[in-house]
Structure 1
Amino acid sequence: MLIDDNFKNAINDYIYLLEKKYPQKAILKLIGDKYSLSGNERTILFRGITTKNKIISRSSKLASEQELSGNTIHIDCYNTLIAIGSYLNGSTVFVGNDNFLRDASEIHGKIFRTELYEKSLSLIFRYIKTLNISEILFYLDKPVSYSGKLCQDINDMLKEENIKGKAQTCESPDFILKNVDYGYCSTADSIIIDNSKVKIFDLARKTIEFSFNPNFLNLTKIA
């Protein structure tokens, strides 16, 4: 996706109003309408642009591969799989100005009714086996209808690959991930990142970069 001058101007105005602490949804509508932004562009603004203070805070929580060695990783399963699946599906995937990978798709759980979820999982396992991680824990939303099947598939893969770990369904993975107090988390959910007690590893981005040569739209170079 190319960024034209119209969208660049929209980004700059959006940042200006965010820094002035105006309500985000109100800013999104104002800027989106003013610059006649597409739905995709509005989603990129909403998910990918934040304030300078939050950029500093989130960047300080971003963990490297080396830090994972010998540690546990807690994975926000749907968040991670949807980002990877969106890339595989040709949807817009981008790096926000806080340096975390996000998707602009609205597919949500639909990805897991296709072959994309299997491919996304296989890519995660292919990459994660190269890391010296002591334990991998996947958290899935119990209310999502496909979670039970997906959970079983992940547990089967962990067993087949002889990897210590577990997939489990829960009412609120967000609550669990915000309160984890050991190891590292994998998510691009801004609320979890902002409230996490541990550092965050961008598993979706690293997984894609391990298997492909992506040319992500990178808002750190624009905003």
Structure 2
Amino acid sequence: MGDHASLRGQALSAGAVTDAAAGLIEAGRLLFARDITFMRGAVDLETLPPFGLPELAFAGRSNVGKSSLINALCGRSTVARTSNTPGRTQELNFFDVNSRLILVDMPGYGFASAPKDKVDAWTRLIKGFLRGRPTLRRCILLVDSRHGIKDNDREMMDMLDKAAVVYQVVLTKIDKLNLAEIEAVRERTLAEISKRVAAYPHLILTSSEKGVGIPELRAEILQLANPETAP
């Protein structure tokens, strides 16, 4: 395993943190330090909430660490449920972040044990959500850094490309790799997303357990949220 200070350096895309970047990181921390409220879980298109605030969706393979990452972003352990059982989250969960942004926790994909009817229902729900949400600003697509982009991830990318939804790849669990392995998966991932129509070119490397990349991801998300209103 690599030194965690070195891992943080790998997670930063531009080396030294400028004053402007430091300001964004602090503002991002404050965004998630305030009220985060569960709104509803949607099991079908009829139960989706009405359009309102900008939305940011989180997607990824089952057990990619999505719930852990969302909890790390929010600085609390009870926002998203974590489980060792693949495919536990089978609905779209909507959270209001400080009345400035809606965070959407999407069901994990790629779980082999799910019945076909559940997979079909998941596909209909996700396709309908992606195609029908003008407030959806971006999808954060989580990829396990130990495995890199897999075929199920590519299928999700195809779906996002067709729906014209911008998505940003975030590598998870980089604390499980050494520095050479991190650099290798980073280069492979950047090479692959450079060929994608809707992929956002900025890659973020994270470890929910060690806090690596979490401030940078918050700063990225901050720029998609509504501006803070004056008191």
Q: Same fold (TM over 0.5)?
A: no
Normalising by structure 1, what TM-score? 0.35
TM-score of the superposition, structure 2-length normalised? 0.34
Question: Comparing both structures, which one devotes a greater share of its residues to strand?
Answer: 2
